[in-house]
Amino acid sequence: MAELHTAIQLEGIARTMRRETVELCYRSPAHKAHLGGCLSAIEILTALYTDVMNTGIGQTGEAWRRRDRFVLSKAHASLALYAALHQAGFLSDDEFALPVCGEDTLLFRQARRDLAHGMEISGGSLGMGMGYACGLALAQRRRGQDSRVFVLLGDGECNEGSVWESVAFAAYNRLTNLVAIVDANGLQLDGPIEKVLGGDNHAERWTSFGFDAIEAEGNDAAAVRDALLAARDSDSPRPRVVIARTAKGRGVSFAENHVEWHDNSLTDDLYRQAITELSDAAFETRGGDER
Amino acid sequence: MSRSSYVDAREAMRLCSLPSNQALGETLTSLADEDEDLTVVVSDYGRRLFLDGLVERHPEGFVQVGIAEQDQVSIGAALALEGFPVFAPCYASFVASRSFDQIRVNLGMMGAPLVLVGLSARYDSADLGASHCATEDVALMRSVPTATVITPADNAELASAIRWLAAHPRPAYVRITGSTTETCLHASGCDVSAGGVTQLREGSDVALVACGQLAAAALEAADILETTDVSASVTEMAIVSPLRENELLHAIRGKRLVVTVEEHGVVGGLGSAVAEVLSARDDVPPLLALGTPRSYLDGGDVRQALLTNDGLDPWGIASHILERLERSKKR
Report the pLDDT value the prediction gives residue B168, as an integer from 0 to 100: 96
List the alpha helices (DSSP H) in A58-188: 61-65, 78-88, 93-96, 129-142, 161-172
Taking residues B306-326, report their average pLDDT. 95
Contact B300, B128 (CB under 8 A): yes
ipTM of this complex > 0.90?
yes
Whole-number Cα distances in Å, A32 to A26, A76, A266, B168: 7, 12, 6, 42
Mark yes or no for CB contact A166/B71 under 8 Å.
yes
Entry pTM: 0.96
**Chain B nearest CA to A165, separation (Å):** 6
The tens digit of pLDDT for each residue in A198-249 reads 999 999 999 999 999 999 999 999 999 999 999 999 999 999 999 999 999 9
Taking residues B208-230, report their average pLDDT. 97
Identify which of A49, A37, A39 has the alpha carbon closest to the alpha carbon of residue A15. A39
The tens digit of pLDDT for each residue in A12-31 reads 999 999 999 999 999 999 99
Q: Which residues pair with B116 in a beta bridge?
A: B88, B173
CB atoms within 10 A of CB A19: 18
Residues in contact with B158: Cβ distance below 8 Å, sequence separation at least 6, in sequence order: B15, B20, B23, B24, B27, B152, B174, B176
Taking residues B195-224, report their average pLDDT. 97
The DSSP output letter for B21 is: H
> What residues in A contact B68, CB-CB < 8 Å?
162, 165, 168-169
The tens digit of pLDDT for each residue in B81-114 reads 999 999 999 999 999 999 999 999 999 999 999 9
The answer for A 134-163 residues in CB contact with B (under 8 A) is 134-136, 138-139, 142-143, 161-162
CB atoms within 10 A of CB A291: 9
One-letter amino acid of A43: E
CA distance A56 to B277: 48
Burial class (CB within 10 angstroms; exposed 0-12, middle 13-18, buried 19+) of A54: middle
CB atoms within 10 A of CB A208: 12
- A168 interfaces chain B, CB cutoff of 8 Å: yes
Report the pLDDT value the prediction gives residue A94, as an integer from 0 to 100: 97
Contact A213, A172 (CB under 8 A): no
Report the pLDDT value the prediction gives residue B137, as an integer from 0 to 100: 96
Question: What are the contacts of A98-107 at 24+ separation with CB within 8 A?
Answer: A99/A27, A100/A24, A100/A27, A100/A28, A100/A29, A101/A28, A101/A29, A102/A29, A107/A24, A107/A79, A107/A82
Residue B1 pLDDT grade (very low, low, confident, very high; cuts 50, 70, 90) = very low
Taking residues A36-65, report their average pLDDT. 97
CB atoms within 10 A of CB A81: 28
Q: Pick from B68, B74, B110: which is nearest to A122 by CB? A: B110
Contact B298, B306 (CB under 8 A): no
The tens digit of pLDDT for each residue in A130-183 reads 999 999 999 999 999 999 999 999 999 999 999 999 999 999 999 999 999 999
- Domain boundaries defined on chain A: 7-285
CA distance A3 to B110: 37
Report the pLDDT value the prediction gives residue B180, as an integer from 0 to 100: 56
The tens digit of pLDDT for each residue in A69-98 reads 999 999 999 999 999 999 999 999 999 999
CB atoms within 10 A of CB A2: 6
CA distance B169 to A48: 33
CA distance B310 to B313: 8
- Homologous superfamily of A7-285: Thiamin diphosphate (ThDP)-binding fold, Pyr/PP domains (3.40.50.970)
Report the pLDDT value the prediction gives residue B179, as an integer from 0 to 100: 57
For chain A, what percent of residues have pLDDT higher than 70? 98
Mark yes or no for CB contact B78/A133 under 8 Å.
yes
CA distance B150 to B118: 10
Closest residue of B to A167, CA-based? B71
Residue B2 pLDDT grade (very low, low, confident, very high; cuts 50, 70, 90) = very low
The tens digit of pLDDT for each residue in A54-71 reads 999 999 999 999 999 999
> What residues in B contact A112, CB-CB < 8 Å?
109
Report the pLDDT value the prediction gives residue B3, as an integer from 0 to 100: 59
> What residues in A contact B102, CB-CB < 8 Å?
128, 131, 162
Taking residues B108-136, report their average pLDDT. 91
Q: Pick from A127, A136, A165: which is nearest to B78 by CB? A: A136
Mark yes or no for CB contact B78/A168 under 8 Å.
no
In chain B, which residues touch A (CB < 8 A)?
37, 60, 63, 65-66, 68, 70-71, 73-79, 82-84, 101-102, 105-106, 109-110
Taking residues B186-209, report their average pLDDT. 97
> What residues in A contact B75, CB-CB < 8 Å?
131-132, 134-135, 138, 166, 169
CA distance B240 to B220: 22
* Domains of chain B (ranges, CATH numbers): 9-175 (3.40.50.970), 196-330 (3.40.50.920)
CA distance A191 to A262: 9
For chain B, what percent of residues have pLDDT higher than 90? 85
